[in-house]
Chains A and B, each alone.
Chain A
Amino acid sequence: MDIAAQSIEGGFVDPVFDAQTVFRTVMDAMARPGSVQPLPAFARPPAPLSATAGAIALALCDNDTPLWLDPALQASTAIKSWLGFHTGVPLANTPADAHFALIATPAEMMALDGFSQGTQDYPDRSTTLILQVGDLVSGSPLLLEGPGIETSATIAPAQMPRHFVEQWKQNIKRFPRGVDIILATADGIACLPRTTRIKTMEA
Chain B
Amino acid sequence: MYVAVKGGEAAIANAHSLLADRRRGDRSVPALRLDQIVEQLALGVDRVMSEGSLYDRELAALAIAQARGDLIEAIFLVRAYRTTLPRFGYTKPIDTDNMLVERRVSATYKDLPGGQLLGPTFDYTHRLLDPELAAGGDVAEPLQRETEAQAMPRVSAILAREGLIEPDGEMPQDHIPGDITREPLEFPMARDIRLQALSRGDEGFLLALGYSTQRGYARNHPFVGEIRIGEVELELDVPELPFAVPLGTVRVTECQMVNQFKGSAKAPPQFTRGYGLVFGQSERKAMAMALCDRALRATELGEDVTAAAQDEEFVISHSDNVQATGFVEHLKLPHYVDFQAELDLVRRMRAEYDARENPVKAEEKREAAE
Contact = CB atoms under 8 A, between A and B. Distances in A.
**In the complex, is A directly touching B at CB under 8 Å?**
yes
A81 B239 contact: yes
A62 B87 CA distance: 8
A62 B86 CA distance: 8
B182 A64 contact: yes
A63 B87 CA distance: 7
Determine which residue in B88, B182, B238, B239 has the highest number of CB atoms from chain A within 10 A of its CB, and name it: B239
A84 B240 contact: yes
A63 B86 CA distance: 9
B89 A88 contact: yes
Contacts, number: 23
A7 B242 CA distance: 14
A88 B241 CA distance: 12
Contacts of B86: 62-63
B184 to A, nearest CB: 9
Nearest to A81: B239
Contact of B240 (A8, A63, A64): A8
A42 B86 CA distance: 21
Contacts of A62: 86-87
Determine which residue in B87, B88, B238, B240 has the highest number of CB atoms from chain A within 10 A of its CB, and name it: B240
B87 A81 contact: no
A84 B239 contact: yes
B134 to A, nearest CB: 49
B239 A85 contact: yes
Contacts of B89: 63, 88
A122 B276 CA distance: 34
Interface residues on A, range: 10 to 19
A8 B238 CA distance: 13
By secondary structure, the B interface counts as loop
Contacts of A81: 239-240
B247 to A, nearest CB: 15
Contacts of B238: 88
B239 A64 contact: no
Interface string B82-123: 000011110000000000000000000000000000000000
B192 to A, nearest CB: 18
Nearest to A84: B239
B183 to A, nearest CB: 10
B182 A88 contact: no
Contacts of B88: 63, 88
Nearest to A90: B89
Interface string A52-80: 00000000001110000000000000001
Interface string A7-33: 110000000000000000000000000
Interface string A117-147: 0000000000000000000000000000000
Contacts of B87: 62-64, 88
Nearest to B240: A85
Contacts of A8: 240
Interface string B45-68: 000000000000000000000000
A7 B182 contact: no
B146 to A, nearest CB: 46
Contacts of B240: 7-8, 81, 84-85
A81 B239 CA distance: 6
A123 B277 CA distance: 36
Interface in B190-239: 238-239
A62 B239 CA distance: 13
A85 B87 CA distance: 13
Nearest to A85: B240
Contacts of A63: 86-89
A203 B7 CA distance: 62
A85 B237 CA distance: 12
A63 to B, nearest CB: 5
Nearest to B182: A64
A90 B240 CA distance: 13
A7 B239 CA distance: 10
A80 B182 CA distance: 24
Nearest to B179: A64
A7 B238 CA distance: 13
Nearest to B90: A63
A8 B240 CA distance: 8
Nearest to B88: A88
A95 B89 CA distance: 22
Nearest to B239: A84
Contacts of A7: 239-240
Interface of A: 7-8, 62-64, 80-81, 84-85, 88
Given A80-B239, A88-B88, 4 more contacts: A84-B240, A85-B240, A88-B87, A88-B238
23 contacts: A7-B239, A7-B240, A8-B240, A62-B86, A62-B87, A63-B86, A63-B87, A63-B88, A63-B89, A64-B87, A64-B182, A80-B239, A81-B239, A81-B240, A84-B239, A84-B240, A85-B239, A85-B240, A88-B87, A88-B88, A88-B89, A88-B238, A88-B239
Instruction: List the 7 closest A-B pairs by CB distance, nearest first.
Output: A84-B239, A85-B240, A63-B87, A63-B89, A85-B239, A81-B239, A88-B88
Interface of B: 86-89, 182, 238-240
